[in-house]
Amino acid sequence: MKRIHVMAAVIRNAAGQILIAKRPDDAHQGGLWEFPGGKLETDEDRATGLRRELLEELGISVTQARPLIDIRHDYPDKSVRLDVWLVTGFNGEAHGAEGQPVCWVAPSELGNYSFPAANAPIVQAAQLPERYLITPDMADEGALFAGLEQTLENGIRLVQLRQTQLAEREYRALTERVLARFGERFDWLLKGNEPPEYPGVGWHLTARQLHELGSHGLPPRSSTGWLAASCHNAEELSLAQQLGVDFVTLSPVLPTPSHPDAAGLGWEAAQALIGSINKPVYLLGGMSPERLSEAFDAGAQGIAGIRGLF
């Protein structure tokens, strides 16, 4: 089977906008928007290939980049690897050096543009941050709120409200108070047996829910927030892929104080599992900001954590 390695870039400018380019009308999937890039040459280093393609297509010289997401598609006659990097530093003014239309858009506006279906995970990765906070169980609501204020100061915006000590009714009441205070200052995900009904608030499925929904499908969702799932092995990652979640957490990577008897996957196994799913993956378990570079090298979107981020 023919194997094709394609480099692509999510290019972010100082204003936080993302550069997208329009495919020629006479090309395969012509008229759709895409993330710039092109085929890696034989024996060419990935970073070198990325720099070459962006210089040829956009006239920019890359100065800072890292892997973002790796997507693989098998067709009857070929296998395509879409190797996507996040570019946050470059010299020159990006333009369509080959005559293609290009534009800078806010990450939140990417959904307004038509991309090839294979680009959907890239759109999600481009919109998601590097860190995903899971709140620790806290009986002291004041301390929880103070911790969330500190979380804002630390620049974390993606948060799962997890309070396992609360019954469903208590959890819902707390959710109301949290949203009243913090509102849209965070991108929220909630736990529960049903999808949240709050506009823009997401739902984080447990591994148990993944297995239960795998044969029944997802219930109707009225919220436009993120849909995520907790995964621990290849089977659960496959279920998450089938259900069409936006991203997953994979754990535990390393031993943690909260689960001292749980053996960690380790970096090598985590990297292999990340390669089995075309979704952004946050690594969880023993993670801290100091582990971010290792997470990126393993192909992860970033890290998720409780104690390491709160």
Task: Tell me the per-residue pLDDT of 6-18, one tens digit each, with 9 for 90 and over.
Answer: 999 999 999 999 9
Q: Give span(s): CATH 3.20.20.70, the chain.
A: 131-305
In this predicted model, what pLDDT tens digit does every residue of 16-72 receive, in sequence order? 999 999 987 666 676 899 999 999 999 999 999 999 999 999 999 999 999 999 998
Q: Residue 91: is its pLDDT beyond 90?
A: yes
Question: What is each CA distance from 177 to 50, 93, 137, 143, 295, in whole angstroms?
Answer: 47, 46, 16, 14, 34
| CATH 3.20.20.120, applies to 2-117 | no
Q: Supply the pLDDT for residue 246.
A: 96
Ligand-binding site membership of 204 (annotated): no
Question: What is each CA distance from 101 to 19, 56, 94, 282, in whole angstroms?
Answer: 11, 15, 11, 33
Question: What value does the mean pLDDT take over residues 253-280?
Answer: 88
Ligand-binding site membership of 119 (annotated): yes
**304, 132 Cβ separation under 8 angstroms:** yes
Ligand-binding site membership of 34 (annotated): yes
Q: Supply the pLDDT for residue 258.
A: 64
| CATH 3.20.20.70, applies to 131-305 | yes
DSSP 12: B
Q: Give span(s): CATH 3.90.79.10, the chain.
A: 2-117
Question: What value does the mean pLDDT take over residues 216-230?
Answer: 85
Q: Supply the pLDDT for residue 78.
A: 79
Ligand-binding site membership of 112 (annotated): no
Ligand-binding site membership of 109 (annotated): no
10: Cα separation from own chain's centroid: 13
Q: Supply the pLDDT for residue 259.
A: 65
CA angle 192, 259, 141 (to 5 degrees): 50
**Phi, psi at 67, each rounded to 5°:** -60, 145
- Both tokens of residue 253? 């990577």
Ligand-binding site membership of 186 (annotated): no
